[in-house]
Structure 1
Amino acid sequence: MTDAQDRRVVALVTGSHFVNHSYLVMLAPLVGVLAARFDVSIAAIGLAIGVQNAVVLVLQLPMGYVSDAYSRTLVLGISLVVGTLGAALTALATSYAWLLVAQLVLGVGVAGHHPAHYPLLAAVSTDENRGRAYSAHAFGGSVGLAAPYAVVAGTTALDLSWRVAIGVVAVVGAVFAAYCLLRFRSVDDEITRPGLAERPDERPTLRSVPGRIRALFRTLASSGGILGLTVLAFLTSAAAWAIRTYTPSLLVRGYGLPDGTASALTSAMLVVGAGLILAGGGLTDRVGAGPIVVGGYAALVVVAALLATLSLPLAAVGIVLLLSGSISFSRPARSTLADRLSRRADLGKNFALVTIGISLGGVVAPPVFGYLVDTAGLTVSFGLVSALGVLSLALGLRIVRDASFAVPGAAAGADGD
């Protein structure tokens, strides 16, 4: 391997994260528009987003198995190509049923990105720079989360259709997919595929599937740290999906901002979050994961609670810029903990398990918070976001405490490959 090749892999995986996260949230800034277009409730559009995340959840472990056992770039290719197809189908939707099907296809594509990304990053990073590698990756994802809001703000200003906004996201994804897969053709096999010792001795058969599934779950259940991180990922994902999906509604209905301004401010919030990811990654390498986890989740509690009052002066609404950033700041620390608690042969599966927590948050939060926004109001909804921050902080402290004892053994096992 060369330093140039390592940097290329990090850059390509970061770009893939940008594309996949753009696909994940491209309906969020259009919730109100799509509800009116298809004559359904806001909660129904939240359900469409939940369908996508449900598919991602179901396919995590199968994608993680293929990544760990056969090829990381095969999973990456499936992610980019099928995800782009789902985005294109979404742009062409003519009915709510079509929208649901398009989100299902999109979910099949998005399902592969974490099980492919994390083993690729682990293959080209070391203990000295792993936090920065993960922060670069998370930075790309956060900018990807911001991109659809910026696109919608731009198309709204130009009085263009919602189809144009989603079409722009799909075209960008298609161009990157072609470039990324072409560039990965020259990357060494030791990066793109698992080591020989980690590959299965024989091809799986229908008869062997139950035994393989039992062995997989035994491996996953043996790591309390990874299971704890999965629950933490669920809590923070639920909070993040509520923030990404309903912050525009908070700003419009709670603080009286115009639609375009609300989308632009939400996009700016996610860009600030991307910058805080880079800060969090650098600090994780310097001071460790514990202080970063505590600081990020404590900030989430405070900021969400303040916004939930709906009584901030309009000049102070800029505090919304820190809302998703409080979660983003701690994300590299969470990824670093998952890496250090994993054996190399289990990286794809362990990160797939953590992603199940992330996806489950995406399944639950959009429809549940959509229902709460419709029935209980914005104060209750964003008060619940603050409560999720409290739970995340408590669990994060527990995981960091336990990891301080477990990490040396896990790291030794990892380095023994």
Structure 2
Amino acid sequence: MSSTSEPLDLAADPGLTEGWRKDAKVVALISAVHFVSHVHIMLLPPIFGQVREAFGVSYTDIALALTAFNVASALLQTPAGFLVDRIGPRAMLTAGLIVGAVAIAIAALLPSYWAFIIAYGLLGVANTVYHPADYSILSATIDGKRIGKAFSIHTFAGYAGSGVTPAFVIGCAAIWGWHGAFLAAAVLSFAAAMLLVVAGHVLPKWTRKAAPAVKQTDHKVGLDLLLSAPVLRNLFFFLCLAMANGGIQTYTVVSQQALHGTPAAISNVALSGFLLMSALGVLLGGVVADRTPHHERVAAVGFAFTSTMAILMGWVAMPGIVLVLVMSVGGLLNGMIQPSRDMMVRAVTPPGSFGKVFGFVSTGFNLGGMIAPLTYGWLMDHGRPQTIYAIVVAFILLALVTAVTRHKPQGSPAWTR
């Protein structure tokens, strides 16, 4: 069958230093962009209560903003992946950062609740470019012996963005109010776009070649590839992760206060510990991912610990220091899963299709993001915060089953190639 999109030819600029120095420059720039994208994702949760009070609405009403974000991303992320494979990832990344800055500024400056919701939908459109563009560049550029580490550094940067955002947002809100916190995030997004414009020459150049005819036995591409069983399994895996992480990342502060009377300041420290230790876990997971083909085993260990963490949070009233410790350890093991997650997707992706496949499976995050905020917000409004943790545990276990029962592609780990 013939290709439904023209393949990428990401040829390295001859002026770039060969080997790891070239890889390091590419990873650094893409990771900086990923950092900013996670600031966007975590912008609202630390000041959920403030924004809700400012508009005089319920938790479910404010959660609609996160749903709008994820609906837009779910609908447009796969088309964005096709665009990345056709017009190039650098242009898509720059456009996404600029659109994100505009969306956040609209959310901060317009007083209407519905303008806030629409702005979050626009922010969701901006979010569609990051995973397909980032993974397209990394997969096509980084040496196979270092790809696991490259994925881990990229994911680490995202987790680091999530981890510092609560402190960043709360600090800015204390000085300028939540509107000022949003505007500071908009400035950061625009600055990242300018960084791509100025320093983007370190990225591989993109040229489009005519698509060659391929035989029926060649790798499937386009919709046939996206609807294949291995790719759909990864889509469901990402959905489970989104449902589980959505409960922890968005509702830890308010649910712990409702369940155990935990002060918001302590819960925010625990949440930051979870996110920052997740970032450290990602780096450790990258080393592991490069040294084993058994990525499902890494996932199984991580899921065992994160499910234990969620059970303790839902059913045990822990002292503040214990909560911080439990969430930090859970975050470390949660982070170690992430590079293996990316390697599982890469293992079922043919060359030239990284943008569309990573864009499609990342839609699982958005599908979960559409369901999780409203579901968990409804449970909070109806006085059932403990049920949030029951659902989180259920989806962790589903993700575990999905990982350990996957088909294992034949081949050696990246470090042996």
TM-score by length of 2: 0.88
1:22 has 2:59 as partner: no
Match of 1:60 in 2: 77
Tell me which protein shows more helix as a share of its residues: 1
Match of 1:293 in 2: 299
Question: How many residues matched?
Answer: 390
Change (3 A) 1:407 1:45: farther
Match of 1:185 in 2: 201
1:257 has 2:270 as partner: no
Match of 1:81 in 2: 98
Alpha-carbon shift at residue 396 of structure 1 (Å): 0.8
Alpha-carbon shift at residue 324 of structure 1 (Å): 4.2
- Residues 19-65 of structure 1: CA distance to partner in whole angstroms, max 9, x if unpaired? 11111121111211111110111011111111011111111111111
Aligned residue among 378, 393, 401 for 2:385: 378
- Structure 1 letter corresponding to 2:87: Y
Aligned residue among 161, 182, 197 for 1:166: 182
Match of 1:122 in 2: 139
Q: Report matched runs for 1:41-60 at 5 Å.
A: 41-60=58-77
Contact 2:128 2:359 in 1 (8 A): no
Match of 1:208 in 2: none
Contact 1:340 1:407 in 2 (8 A): no
Alpha-carbon shift at residue 194 of structure 1 (Å): 5.8
Contact 1:255 1:314 in 2 (8 A): no
Contact 2:225 2:231 in 1 (8 A): no
**Whole-Å separation in 1 of the counterparts to 2:169 and 2:156:** 21
Match of 2:285 in 1: 280
1:357 has 2:373 as partner: no
Contact 2:77 2:360 in 1 (8 A): yes
Unaligned runs of 5+ in 2: 1-11, 13-17, 214-219
* Segments of 4+ moved more than 4 angstroms: 197-200
Aligned residue among 217, 228, 240 for 2:223: 217
**Whole-Å separation in 1 of the counterparts to 2:36 and 2:74:** 18
Match of 1:341 in 2: 348
Contact 1:241 1:365 in 2 (8 A): yes
- Structure 2 letter corresponding to 1:40: V
1:133 has 2:150 as partner: yes
Match of 2:169 in 1: 152
- Structure 1 letter corresponding to 2:392: V
Contact 1:236 1:389 in 2 (8 A): yes
RMSD over aligned CA atoms reads: 2.3
Match of 1:31 in 2: 48
Aligned residue among 185, 188, 196 for 2:209: 196
Change (3 A) 1:135 1:197: farther
- Structure 1 letter corresponding to 2:96: S
Alpha-carbon shift at residue 310 of structure 1 (Å): 3.7
Q: After alignment, is 295-304 or 131-140 more displaced?
A: 295-304
**Whole-Å separation in 1 of the counterparts to 2:212 and 2:340:** 29
Contact 1:14 1:140 in 2 (8 A): yes
**Whole-Å separation in 2 of the counterparts to 1:407 and 1:32:** 50
Alpha-carbon shift at residue 186 of structure 1 (Å): 4.9
Match of 1:366 in 2: 373
**Whole-Å separation in 2 of the counterparts to 1:119 and 1:129:** 15
Unaligned runs of 5+ in 1: 201-213
Match of 1:270 in 2: 275
Contact 1:138 1:332 in 2 (8 A): yes
Aligned residue among 386, 397, 403 for 1:396: 403
**Whole-Å separation in 1 of the counterparts to 2:316 and 2:103:** 37
Contact 1:243 1:324 in 2 (8 A): no
Match of 1:227 in 2: 232
Change (3 A) 1:336 1:198: farther
- Structure 1 letter corresponding to 2:209: L
Alpha-carbon shift at residue 374 of structure 1 (Å): 2.0
TM-score by length of 1: 0.88
**Whole-Å separation in 1 of the counterparts to 2:404 and 2:287:** 20
Using the aligned pairs only, state the percent identity: 26
**Whole-Å separation in 2 of the counterparts to 1:107 and 1:73:** 19
**Whole-Å separation in 1 of the counterparts to 2:399 and 2:115:** 36
Alpha-carbon shift at residue 407 of structure 1 (Å): 4.1
- Residues 187-245 of structure 1: CA distance to partner in whole angstroms, max 9, x if unpaired? 341xxx26625599xxxxxxxxxxxxx973222123x2221111000000111111111
